[in-house]
Amino acid sequence: MTINITEVRNVKSINKENTHLDLEINHPQHGWIPYSLSPLDTDTVIDNINLLKLIGKDFKKYVAPKKSSLDKNAADSNRMKRDNLLSATDWRFRSDMKPSKEWKDYCVDLRNITAHSNWPNLKKTDWPISPDNR
Distance between the two ends of the chain, CA-based, in angstroms? 56
- Tell whether 78 is covered by a domain: yes
Tell whether 25 and 46 lie within a shared domain: yes
Tell whether 71 and 45 lie within a shared domain: no
- Residue 37: how many other CB atoms lie within 10 Å: 21
pLDDT for 46 equals 92
Tell whether 77 and 119 lie within a shared domain: yes
- Tell whether 133 is covered by a domain: no
Q: In sequence order, which residues have a C-beta less than 8 Å from that of residue 73 and are 6 or more positions away?
A: none
Q: Could you tell me the residue range of the domain that residue 34 belongs to?
A: 8-55
- Tell whether 134 is covered by a domain: no
pLDDT for 29 equals 93
Tell whether 17 and 49 lie within a shared domain: yes
pLDDT for 25 equals 97
For residues 26-36, give the mean pLDDT.
96
- Tell whether 1 is covered by a domain: no
- Tell whether 77 is covered by a domain: yes
Q: Which of 34, 55, 76 is the last residue of a domain?
A: 55
pLDDT for 111 equals 97
- Tell whether 45 is covered by a domain: yes
Residue 31 clears pLDDT 90, i.e. is over it: yes
pTM, two decimals, is: 0.64
How many domains are contained in the chain? Answer: 2
Tell whether 83 and 111 lie within a shared domain: yes
Per the DSSP assignment, residues forming a β-bridge with 44 are none
pLDDT for 14 equals 95
Cα distance between residue 22 and residue 30, in whole Å = 18
- Tell whether 60 is covered by a domain: no
Residue 102 clears pLDDT 90, i.e. is over it: yes
Residue 44 clears pLDDT 90, i.e. is over it: no
For residues 33-60, give the mean pLDDT.
92
Q: Which of 78, 62, 80 is nearest to 124 (CA)?
A: 78
pLDDT for 1 equals 82
Where do the H-state alpha helices sit in the chain?
Answer: 48-55, 67-87, 101-111
Tell whether 50 and 71 lie within a shared domain: no
